């Protein structure tokens, strides 16, 4: 028993000595701080920040909140009521049922003025018997169709609201850059006020294959119902009208396309001022350059628009543009493909002046050109649309004069005589026709009833054979 007590006493004494040595010789002095709460602070068991964060990592990630908030108030839900008529069946007849069926299509639109003008896609409202607009605050109005342009797929609507409306401010789509952040705002699948983000993937994108379009391509998610909605930049400025997707399923798979705001704005301004779209014509024909065409044409550049022909009486001819010129820029827009040129010209009207930067014989030239009206290119005659024959076609087909048919809506001439697109009219009433100007002069001389005075028409068919038709 005495041994056990001795052992315990020795152990306790050793512990005391060890702890004392640590305190005096090893442990450093430390200060103790007491945390106090300010009057407006709250108790938290974890590190917490109560500051509102505008953006996290502002050097890398943009802040979309203000742009999204502005955009959703200017984007509306468009409902399109159409009446379809199915063939009547015997069962419908016996049951006395009406074969008319009401169908409702939906899309989006963007308010562009405080008094209720709304821009959307033509395909969103096409064929509508009634149009209904729902605002972001759930107010609903009937809409009036002001005008449309099928080529650009743009339509203009108008609603009458009791108060001024929130509206989108147009941005300059020419200044938008590939890689720039954008937001797509619309109503996909009837999910109102939906915002998605992406970047501009490409500009001047043509989906038709005939260089007639100039879309902004983006990877912001766009689905059915987004059509007619807004594509905005991080400042909330409208830089495009969401229009199309390319997908085998009909839904978004990574590509979407928007009509550039500069084109959309010009179209709606034309509709409001003139009732239709005014198009300025440069007056050149040709094609975009690449390695193969540059080698064939024996030029030392692979980018730009090669001028193969200049339209007679056009602004380009009057300004001195020549065959063989290579257009590198129009105003401040670099031309790398034809859709760059056609897209920019879609924002211009007749008599607007553009500045061409071109290469001629290896030297750079700057030429101002006044754009012409489309009438210099085509003329309507006998319910056909005719235009001048390109010089290269004249040379290859050994044709000295005439105008080519680009459209024929004259059923009798098409059905009975076979005159169609590609036929060439060389004489009218034994009078030689050199270009569309000759037909314009004939119409002016003979007045509106010139069609009734037609006695003879000489043509060259698609096989290159000459024919003449006598009218009695």
Task: Give the angle subtended at the CA of 233 by the CAs of 232 and 238, to the nearest 5°.
Answer: 40
- Check if 160 is active-site: no
Selecting among 149, 153, 340, 435, the annotated active-site residue is 153
Cα torsion angle, 261, 266, 269, 275, sign: negative
Q: What is the DSSP string of 312-367?
A: TTSHHHHHT--TT-EEEEETTEE-SSHHHHHHHHTT--TT-EEEEEEEETTEEEEE
Selecting among 73, 77, 108, 123, the annotated active-site residue is 123
Residue 78 · residue 224 · CB < 8 Å: no
C-alpha closest to that of 202 among 356, 347, 340: 340
Selecting among 227, 256, 261, 342, the annotated active-site residue is 227
- Check if 446 is active-site: no
Q: What is the DSSP string of 147-184?
A: EEETTTTEEEEE---SS----PPB--GGG--TT-EEEE
Residue 353 · residue 370 · CB < 8 Å: yes
Residue 231 · residue 240 · CB < 8 Å: yes
Please provide residue 349's backbone torsions phi and psi, each rounded to the nearest 5 degrees: -120, 165
C-alpha closest to that of 253 among 194, 198, 195: 198
- Check if 153 is active-site: yes
102 burial via Cβ count (<10 Å: 0-12, 13-18, 19+): exposed
Annotated catalytic residues are 123, 153, 227
């Amino acid at each position: 028993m005495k041994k056990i007590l001795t052992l315990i006493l020795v152990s306790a004494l050793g512990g005391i000595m060890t702890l004392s040595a640590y305190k005096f010789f090893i442990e450093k002095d430390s200060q103790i701080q007491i945390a106090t709460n300010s009057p407006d602070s709250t108790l938290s068991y974890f590190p917490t920040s109560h500051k509102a964060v505008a953006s996290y990592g502002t050097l890398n990630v943009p802040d979309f909140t203000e742009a999204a908030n502005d955009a959703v108030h200017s984007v509306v839900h468009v409902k399109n009521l159409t009446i379809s008529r199915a063939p009547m069946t015997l069962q419908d007849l016996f049951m006395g049922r009406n074969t008319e069926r009401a169908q409702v299509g939906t899309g989006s639109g963007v308010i562009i003025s405080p008094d209720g003008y709304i821009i959307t896609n033509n395909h969103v409202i096409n064929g509508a018997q009634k149009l209904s607009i729902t605002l972001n605050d759930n107010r609903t109005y009937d809409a009036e169709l002001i005008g449309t342009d099928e080529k650009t797929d743009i339509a203009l609507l108008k609603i009458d609201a009791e108060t001024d409306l929130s509206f989108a401010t147009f941005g300059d789509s020419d200044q938008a850059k590939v890689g720039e952040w954008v937001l797509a705002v619309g109503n996909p699948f009837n999910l109102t006020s939906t915002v998605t983000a992406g970047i501009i993937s490409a500009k001047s994108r043509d989906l038709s294959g005939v260089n007639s379009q100039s879309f902004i391509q983006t990877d912001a998610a766009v689905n059915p119902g987004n059509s007619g909605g807004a594509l905005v930049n991080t400042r909330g400025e409208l830089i495009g009208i969401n229009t199309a997707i390319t997908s085998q399923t009909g839904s978004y798979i990574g590509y979407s396309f928007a009509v550039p705001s500069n084109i959309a704005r010009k179209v709606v301004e034309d509709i409001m001022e003139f009732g239709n779209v005014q198009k300025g014509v440069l007056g050149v024909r040709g094609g975009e350059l690449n390695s193969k065409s540059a080698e064939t044409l024996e030029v030392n550049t692979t980018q730009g628009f090669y001028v193969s022909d200049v339209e007679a009486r056009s602004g380009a001819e009057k300004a001195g543009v020549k065959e063989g010129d290579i257009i590198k820029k129009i105003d401040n827009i670099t031309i790398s493909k034809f859709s760059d040129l056609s897209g920019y010209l879609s924002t211009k009207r007749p008599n607007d002046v553009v500045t061409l930067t071109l290469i001629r014989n290896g030297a750079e030239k700057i030429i101002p050109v006044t754009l012409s009206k489309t009438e210099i290119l085509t003329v309507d005659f006998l319910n056909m649309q005719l235009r001048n024959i390109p010089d290269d076609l004249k040379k290859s087909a050994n044709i000295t004069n005439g105008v080519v048919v680009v459209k024929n809506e004259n059923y009798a001439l098409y059905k009975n005589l076979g005159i169609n697109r590609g036929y060439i009219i060389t004489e009218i009433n034994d009078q030689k026709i050199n270009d569309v100007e000759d037909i314009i002069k004939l119409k002016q001389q003979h007045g509106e009833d010139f069609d009734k005075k037609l006695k003879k028409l000489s043509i060259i068919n698609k096989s290159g054979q000459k024919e003449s038709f006598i009218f009695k």
